[in-house]
């Protein structure tokens, strides 16, 4: 059955600018604002190298996925691509692995929102914030996709603006344009205190920051003009992420001693605490909170569409493939809140280690899916060279591949 017909019913309402901001919203979140603390502790100042290596891998992945998504614009995305070019079993494992990993990642991000909120309300139990934020974001995702896209666009815009201002502000301090007493690079014990192994361990954690860029391919099933919008959104997303991540890590290392970075709060908030600007730390904490909420919002979209695709292909209960009157797979959305339930339980049982435990599971699943994207693209390229065009998405194939090649 043609996959485009199999997943019919989703509304194509997302514009190119919304696709780009949704992708940035899915990627820029706790991986940068809180997970970067783990990378810094593992690699030391060499975390800049770790993030650059991660950027190269992410860029290559978007090149591969961009071509596939234009050829086959479906909600199942890389899971459907694996099914087409590797076989049904590959499509099954990729989609279920990704759904599970991202569902768990959502749990980790919800815990991060609780950590941020306790900056202002330290006496409130962590699980209270986990439940509160979860309920709000599920309600947002239950709306029609156009409303979701508009909401996510402005949510993501807040953190993009904040990162740009952080970079400009950090440059002003380092160049002396704005005088401030900061510890800087004192006491580093070398650029790579843990050697090459530390840098590569930092890469693994840095990849958690880049996970989410693949959301552009998933939105292709609801993009208004996938042949034009997908390559454009892919390119804009990955270039901005490389700039934001590498520049932010360089400034953090220059402003904050890496040994003082921990998971008690975001290192970005710590910068403003150490500088001593009244209220600046609270403003930055608000920004990282909205960043986490934006990332959760985007990942709920991801997981619900992946489960919807599984149901439409017969690999999940049929109820998850049904759409509401607004064109939203509500049953798949509710099932994708499982990570939030796990997060609520862990935040009460092992509050101190809950974030790291959930992030570890998410990284494993995400990297498996990325490896499958590269393998699928190799097979896709092999068939294309032999002139074996797939039947799926045939009407967009020719123009899509040309557009992907020129744009990417």
Tens digits of per-residue pLDDT, 310-322?
A: 888 888 888 888 8
More confident residue, 187 or 278: 278
Q: Tell me if residue 99 falls in helix, strand or coil.
A: helix
> What is the separation of C-alpha 102 from the centre of its chain, rounded to a whole number of angstroms?
9
Q: How many CA atoms lie within 13 A of 68 on its CB side?
A: 35
Q: Tell me if residue 8 falls in helix, strand or coil.
A: strand
Q: What is residue 402's predicted lDDT score, i.e. its pLDDT? A: 36
Q: What is residue 25's predicted lDDT score, i.e. its pLDDT? A: 64
Q: What is residue 263's predicted lDDT score, i.e. its pLDDT? A: 58
Q: What is residue 289's predicted lDDT score, i.e. its pLDDT? A: 84
Structure tokens given for 122: 């330290």
Q: What is residue 379's predicted lDDT score, i.e. its pLDDT? A: 92
Q: What is the mean pLDDT of residues 248-255?
A: 81
Polymer length of the chain: 408
Distance between start and end Cα atoms, the chain: 30
pLDDT exceeds cutoff 80 at 269: no
Question: Of 111-125, 180-194, 351-365, 371-385, which range is least confident?
Answer: 180-194
Average pLDDT value for the chain = 74
Q: What is residue 178's predicted lDDT score, i.e. its pLDDT? A: 59
pLDDT exceeds cutoff 80 at 227: no
Q: What is the mean pLDDT of residues 89-102?
A: 85
Whether 39 and 196 have beta carbons less than 8 Å apart is answered as: no
Q: What is residue 408's predicted lDDT score, i.e. its pLDDT? A: 40
**β-sheet bridge partners, residue 14:** 223
407 pLDDT band, cuts 50/70/90, is very low
Q: What is residue 347's predicted lDDT score, i.e. its pLDDT? A: 60
**Of 301, 226, 310, nearest in space to 3 by CA:** 310
Q: What is residue 133's predicted lDDT score, i.e. its pLDDT? A: 85
Q: What is residue 127's predicted lDDT score, i.e. its pLDDT? A: 78
219 pLDDT band, cuts 50/70/90, is low
Tens digits of per-residue pLDDT, 37-63?
A: 778 888 888 888 888 898 888 888 888
**How does 299-311 read in b/e, with b if 16+ C-beta sit within 10 Å?**
bbbbbbbbbbbbb
CA distance to 6, 164, 384, 392, 397, per residue, from 388 (Å): 22, 45, 6, 12, 12
How far is the C-alpha of 108 from the C-alpha of 354, rounded, in Å? 7
**β-sheet bridge partners, residue 291:** none
Q: What is the mean pLDDT of residues 244-255?
A: 81
How far is the C-alpha of 149 from the C-alpha of 294, rounded, in Å? 11
Q: What is residue 70's predicted lDDT score, i.e. its pLDDT? A: 79
372 pLDDT band, cuts 50/70/90, is very high
More confident residue, 221 or 71: 71
Q: What is residue 316's predicted lDDT score, i.e. its pLDDT? A: 84
How far is the C-alpha of 154 from the C-alpha of 370, rounded, in Å? 28
Tens digits of per-residue pLDDT, 153-185?
A: 777 778 778 778 778 877 877 776 655 555 554
Q: Which residue has the tokens 């939030």?
A: 340
How far is the C-alpha of 293 from the C-alpha of 375, rounded, in Å? 32
222 pLDDT band, cuts 50/70/90, is low
* φ, ψ for residue 10, nearest 5 deg: -70, 145
pLDDT exceeds cutoff 70 at 197: yes
Tens digits of per-residue pLDDT, 334-371?
A: 888 877 777 667 666 655 566 666 666 677 778 888 89
Q: Quote the percentage of the chain above a pLDDT of 70.
A: 69
pLDDT exceeds cutoff 70 at 13: no
DSSP 8-state code for residue 277: -
Question: Of 106-110, 199-203, 319-323, 397-401, which range is least confident?
Answer: 397-401
Q: Which residue has the tokens 């899971």?
A: 79
401 pLDDT band, cuts 50/70/90, is very low
Q: What is the mean pLDDT of residues 59-70?
A: 84
pLDDT exceeds cutoff 50 at 391: no
**How does 20-40 read in b/e, with b if 16+ C-beta sit within 10 Å?**
bbbbbbbbbbbbbbbbbbbbb
How far is the C-alpha of 249 from the C-alpha of 80, rounded, in Å? 35
The three state secondary structure string of 9-74 is CECCCECHHHHHHHHHHHHCCHHHHCCHHHHHHHHHHHHHHHHHHHHHHHHHHHHHHHHHHHHCCC
Q: Tell me if residue 187 falls in helix, strand or coil.
A: coil
């Amino acid at each position: 059955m043609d996959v485009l017909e199999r997943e019919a019913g989703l509304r194509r309402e997302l514009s190119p600018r919304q696709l780009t901001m949704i992708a940035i919203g899915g990627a820029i979140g706790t991986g940068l604002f809180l997970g970067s603390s783990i990378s810094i502790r593992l690699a030391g100042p060499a975390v800049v190298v770790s993030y650059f290596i991660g950027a190269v891998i992410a860029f290559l992945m978007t090149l591969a996925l961009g071509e596939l998504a234009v050829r086959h614009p479906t909600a199942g995305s890389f899971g459907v691509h694996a099914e087409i070019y590797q076989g049904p079993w590959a499509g099954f494992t990729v989609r279920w692995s990704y759904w599970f990993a991202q569902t768990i990642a959502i749990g980790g991000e919800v815990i991060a929102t609780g950590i941020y909120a306790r900056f202002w309300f330290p006496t409130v139990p962590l699980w209270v914030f986990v439940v509160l934020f979860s309920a709000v974001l599920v309600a947002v995702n239950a709306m029609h996709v156009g409303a979701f896209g508009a909401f996510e666009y402005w949510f993501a815009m807040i953190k993009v603006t904040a990162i740009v201002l952080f970079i400009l502000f950090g440059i002003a301090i380092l160049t002396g344009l704005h005088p401030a007493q900061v510890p800087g690079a004192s006491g580093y014990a070398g650029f790579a205190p843990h050697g090459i192994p530390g840098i590569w361990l930092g890469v693994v954690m840095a990849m958690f920051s880049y996970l989410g860029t693949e959301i552009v391919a998933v939105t292709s099933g609801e993009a208004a003009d996938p042949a034009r919008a997908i390559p454009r959104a892919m390119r804009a997303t990955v270039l901005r992420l490389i700039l934001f991540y590498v520049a932010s890590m360089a400034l953090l290392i220059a402003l904050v001693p890496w040994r003082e970075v921990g998971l008690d709060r975001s290192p970005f908030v710590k910068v403003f605490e150490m500088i001593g600007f009244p209220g600046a730390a609270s403003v930055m904490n608000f920004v990282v909170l909205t960043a986490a909420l934006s990332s959760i919002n985007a990942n709920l979209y991801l997981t619900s569409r992946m489960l919807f695709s599984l149901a439409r292909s017969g690999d999940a209960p049929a109820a998850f493939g049904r759409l509401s009157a607004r064109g939203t797979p509500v049953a798949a959305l509710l099932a994708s809140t499982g990570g939030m339930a796990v997060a609520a339980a862990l935040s009460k049982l092992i509050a101190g280690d809950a974030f790291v435990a959930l992030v570890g599971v998410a990284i494993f699943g995400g990297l498996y899916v990325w490896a499958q994207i590269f393998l699928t693209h190799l097979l896709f390229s092999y068939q294309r060279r032999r002139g074996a065009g797939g039947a799926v998405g045939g009407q967009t194939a020719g123009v899509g591949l040309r557009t992907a090649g020129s744009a990417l």
